[in-house]
Amino acid sequence: NDAGSYGRASVWMSDDFVNWEMKLTNYPEYGKFGGDIWAPDIIRKGDQYYQFITRSGGYDTWVAVADSPTGPWKNLREDDSAIVSGGGNAGRIVAAYNMDAQPFIDDDGQAYMYWGWSEAMGAKLTPDLKNIDGEVHFLKGTKWLPNGGELPQWLSVDLGEPMPITKVLTSPEFKHVAYGYKIEVSEDGGNWQPFADRSENRTELPGDGYVDEGNAKARHVRITFNHCGGHWAGLYNFAVYAGDKIVSLGKPVTASSVRGQGAEPENAVDVSSGPSLADFVEGSYMIKYNGKYYLLYSSGVLHDGTYSVRYAVSDKPLGPFVTPPDHIILQMNEEQTTRGPGHNSVLKFKDKHYIVYHQHNQPHEGGALVFRQTCADLLEFNPDGSIKPVTPTQTGV
């Protein structure tokens, strides 16, 4: 029933999943990293245990090591530095994205780390788990990201010649944020005419994308964001249609600004933009089942009933991932006895999988802070490998 972040990690222990004992660990030393911690995650490798934590004050990720899951813990890196930090990476990795790290060790012994907020990221780790080994993989596909949150920000595509524009599909970065924008068209790139105007939108969410229909002949199509709910004006897909045909794929694109390498405006009209992990928010958790890799994650808004657990599947640990049509595992039920379930882990015991997650406290209390309860339920797979939706039992396992 705690909320937000905490000074040191605590460990709960049980022999029967009914009676629990809590022990407060020594790690991290309070205030040592300039903030409380989020989302500790522990993995065993050999005879030692490794704990990955996020610092709430700076969105950096540290790794600690111990001989027991209860500690005592010490920082794995001798200089007490983070394994990943927003300030030390260029391009699409910004500070606020480095959170909720989860380590995963594959059958061949290779270790990986999955993490991110808004961006779903994954990377190999070195054998000692001290460093990222090689490149960081962006699992959601590509997108355009401007260089900062200032508004307005715009993106424009040149179709090469005037075409009959009938529809524009806009897929912004977040599904749970209402975006305000306008779309304009031009034959010469200088004189612009309105095609669609959602500048005053503060309530309609994009879902799988905003669809704006019209009838115009133009060579240039431009979208300008003036409201993004406090977020940046990121775009996963900006598709311009002439009839039923997408005419913007691979065409030249310009933008008001660019965050850096990996966030180019061309990404908004390339073929890799799509639905894979488009609703990812946070809480990555990787499991492997029958040779497939399942990335579970949280979507929606933590503070309301939209928070939920979902998944995507891949044949490889770093993707590409496919999001199944029915990919919601846990969500608020009609009675709201389960509300805002999210940020899960998965335990395997005697060939059965159990999903452990938190939900809003019951009876629910509104307000800025979200107090939460820990829950555990059975996680099952269908014969085709898809994950069955979990029906919370309210009694645990």
Confidence of residue 87 (pLDDT cuts 50, 70, 90): very low
Cβ(97)–Cβ(59) below 8 Å: yes
Say if residue 303's pLDDT is above 60.
Answer: yes
Residue 239: closest CA among 268, 276, 282: 268
Q: 140: which residues sit within 8 A by CB, 6+ positions away? A: 119, 120, 236, 276, 277, 278, 280
| pLDDT for position 89 | 42
C-alpha separations of 122 from 87, 111, 342, 380 in Å: 18, 11, 20, 25
Say if residue 108's pLDDT is above 90.
Answer: yes
| pLDDT for position 58 | 66
| Number of C-beta neighbours around residue 204 at 10 A | 11
Residues 368-375: what's their mean pLDDT? 74
Residues 214-224: what's their mean pLDDT? 98
| pLDDT for position 93 | 55
pLDDT above 90 covers a percentage of the chain that reads: 51
> Which superfamily does 153-269 belong to?
Galactose-binding domain-like (2.60.120.260)
Residue 181: closest CA among 217, 156, 164, 147: 156
| pLDDT for position 92 | 46
**DSSP states of 87-122 as a string?**
GG--TT--GGG----EEEE-TTS-EEEEE-SSS-EE
Where in the chain are the domains?
Answer: 10-136+277-379, 153-269
Estimate to the nearest angstrom the gap between the alpha carbon of 163 and the chain centroid: 36
Which of 56-70, 150-164, 215-229 comes out lowest in average pLDDT? 56-70
Residues 200-218: what's their mean pLDDT? 92
Confidence of residue 4 (pLDDT cuts 50, 70, 90): low
Between 96 and 390, the more confident residue is 390
Between 15 and 289, the more confident residue is 289
Which of 54-58, 141-145, 149-153, 166-170 comes out lowest in average pLDDT? 54-58
**pLDDT tens digits along 112-131:** 999 988 788 999 999 999 99
pLDDT above 70 covers a percentage of the chain that reads: 89
**Neighbour-count burial of 202, counting CB atoms closer than 10 A to its CB (0-12 exposed, 13-18 middle, 19+ buried):** exposed
Say if residue 18's pLDDT is above 90.
Answer: no
Residue 126: closest CA among 93, 83, 178, 79: 83
Confidence of residue 272 (pLDDT cuts 50, 70, 90): very low
Q: What's the mean per-residue pLDDT of the chain?
A: 87
Residue 380: closest CA among 344, 356, 353, 358: 353
Residue 63: closest CA among 46, 42, 44: 42
Confidence of residue 274 (pLDDT cuts 50, 70, 90): very low
The CA angle 328-232-2, to the nearest 5 degrees, is: 55
Is there a cis peptide before residue 127, judged by omega within 30 degrees of 0? no
What CATH class does 10-136+277-379 carry? mainly beta
| pLDDT for position 42 | 95
Distance in angstroms (rounded) separating the CA atoms of residues 349 and 55: 31
Say if residue 88's pLDDT is above 60.
Answer: no
Distance in angstroms (rounded) separating the CA atoms of residues 62 and 81: 7
Residues 190-205: what's their mean pLDDT? 96
Residue 78: closest CA among 89, 91, 62: 62
Estimate to the nearest angstrom the gap between the alpha carbon of 371 and the chain centroid: 22
Secondary structure class of 138 (helix, strand, coil): strand
pTM of the model: 0.74
Confidence of residue 39 (pLDDT cuts 50, 70, 90): confident
Q: Please determine whether the domains at 10-136+277-379 and 153-269 fall in the same fold group of CATH.
A: no
Distance in angstroms (rounded) separating the CA atoms of residues 163 and 300: 37
